[in-house]
Structure 1
Amino acid sequence: MTSRRAFLKAGGLALVGLGLGGVPGFMARAADSQKHIALYKRSKVLVCIFQRGAMDGLMAVSPFNDPYLREARPDLFMSPARNGTGKPLIDLDGTFGLHPALQAFEPLFREKRLAIVHGMGSPNNTRSHFDAQDYMESGTPFSKSTSSGWLNRAVGLLGHDASPFQAVSLTSAMPRSLYGDQPALAIRDLKDFALQSKGTPLDLSTTAQSFESLYDQTSSALLKQTGKESFEAMKILQQAQTGKYAPAPGVVYPTTALGTSLKQIAQLVKMDVGLEVAFAESGGWDTHFNQGTGNGTFARNAQDFSNSIAAFWADLVAYQDDVTILTMTEFGRTVKQNGTRGTDHGRASCSFIIGNDVKGGLVHGALHPLAVENLEDGRDLAVTTDFRSIFSEVAGTHLAIQNNRVLFPDWEEKRTGVMRTA
């Protein structure tokens, strides 16, 4: 199965994670090496994390002074008050409280490296997970016919030569965000990385020189012109020192899918292999039943989510100026809890943006009082910030992408103010 693959322009060579446990020597040494390998100039890197299942933004970042929220969620409402009945919210600004399981985010917020945009979502009011994710990842919330993802279009707008590692998703299959004409790579795990050509797996002992020889046989002039640099990169990676990758001192990643993905993205960032767009996923946010407060399903997910991201950020050390993290989720949850102490599919949620060029320490966006007359369809937190406003501003500022008409077709640009400008 070749769903985890990357094609260089004009095809011919695919890089796939075969899941066989074997790994080419050059990739194993590169992934495990602590040595800085200057293959390409240091790049700005946008790391996107999709919270699949629809995160409850009202629980993640709660407007705890709103009396309507307390009334709507008798079993789920949380407060920053320390009354001995459970873990309190972390009071961010007297209006919003961060869920205690997200406590790893608090230092980033206080240091103004974390910004939160509340009331974010899609203008399309679908409550289907599949459709909402598809619309958000394609960046065209009213068109099912869009063949490309917004991150793939972002790669195309970078306007310079790319390494084979320019766009990488640490997932088992290529995410919708990276569909398109630009080369992208999806790998479940760097340790399962292998090479194949025209559907035939190559011997794992094959060297980069053999790859170059294979490449030389292609009839594609485009590959001949652009592929040499890729093979030079592979040969340099092959010379990397062996040894197990060690994060920065004191950094411990959760041993979870998200923690592992972000740890490997950190490796690629530090290796300077030309990474510019990275993608990871966090699942389990569909909290219909027993959502919990300080403990429970939501809290477990939130703790893994924040601890993984905080470890990743701390691991970057000298690379923090080069990296911005953007989180997204397809929609939020209902304001009112349901009969099984959970929440159902709603509308708006919130996004977390981390970096040294964000307007951090603030909760951006607009939340109206949660009275019924202010709710969408009388039940949901209304979308006051179109997700495209966030994505375009973050990508545009951090990666210097200017053409929003290509990035998000049929959208009238409106900035959120979440990023600092020079």
Structure 2
Amino acid sequence: MDSGNLSWYIVATALVLLMTPGVAFFYGGLVRAKSVVSMMMMSFGAMGLVAVLWILYGFSMQNVSTGWVGFIGNPFADFGLADLASGASSNVDLVGVAFGATFAIITVALISGAIADRAKFGSWMLFVLLFVTLDYFLVAGWVWNPSGWIASLGTHLGLSTNVIDYAGGTAVHINAGAAALALALVLGKRVGFSKQMNRPHNVPLVLLGAALLWFGWFGFNGGAAAAGDGIAAAGSPIGLITINTLGATAAAILGWLLIERITGRKPTSVGAASGAVAGLVAITPACANLTPGWSLVLGLLAGVVCAKAVELKYLLRIDDSLDVVGVHLVGGLLGTIYLGFFATGTGLFTGGNADQLIVQVIAALSVMVFSFGISWLIGWAIQKTMGFRIRSEDELAGVDTVVHGESGYEFPDEGISTGPVPVQAPTREPEKVLS
């Protein structure tokens, strides 16, 4: 890999890492003022733990060409990456490891939005450890390692094409969305769950988070283009990835706002931000395999479909607090299956046969079922042993001060605090008048 490609690989890694603080801001603004610290800490806790586990054994586990070939790599094949770090191509290899770590981190961070306002931090961290070990490290290998059973599904089935998931529709978004649904069911509804309680406490924070996500997503979708022949090669998809990441996201904003207007609501900034995220999710698996026009259609559909999907939680009485299921699971399914119809050269309507659609559907449903099952079992076990959900009275008092001993906002001069005990504004002695 030449210096230009290596530089882009490093920049893309930093961009994807920045997306997790973006998730923290986005989620933090959506919750109550008494929960913002807790919400953001779940993302930052994931950053710390997942990165360490990935270096120790996660990268080895996703290398499914070792161990049980196609399904799970040997976690001790290169424990702590000692061999990789001393290899002849260690510069490039280790940047690739870091790039992969950022995907593992954000997948876990996305899940946290489903259990806002009511989860114990220690229990969340235990879930993170078990989830990445039993789920993500395996699924990443299935999807992106050439030996993975999903990556080579079409070959095994004797079909003309294999699964397309360029940047994580299955491994990241369907995976995270299904896990989020499982945890929302295990922890149950928040006290007073209703549409009225779902008001963001800080809209500018939501918009900041969405902006950071869109910014970082160019590295998320385009980072892997540095590998192989590189981003400047004649066959590189980087230009297509860039325009599709822009176009689909923009179209999804319009789709979400259109639904708000059609249903009699005012066009909201939170809706625009949510639409942007829905578009980013949907284009993730498809960014290198759609023409720009079909990407615009996908983005518009994502904005419309996800906007309607988030309303289902009230009908189904499932408290997916920050719409992880409606945006990431639904958006991930939409983008992954859409490729079966419109992938350039291989889709049902663009290539002439159903092979692409068959493998896309099998991959999407397999990851969804596996992730939901594993996550439900982990969450249920934690809830029944050490407890996952905080007490109702602590939820009402505010999870920030109860769990972390901090509050998101302190204005002592005005007597304002998001903690359980109001801050007392200092009193001033009356000034003496000199005679």
- How does the TM-score come out when normalised to structure 1? 0.26
Q: Using CA pairs below 8 Å that are at least 6 residues apart, which structure has the higher relative contact order?
A: 1
- How does the TM-score come out when normalised to structure 2? 0.26
Higher helix share: 2
Higher strand share: 1
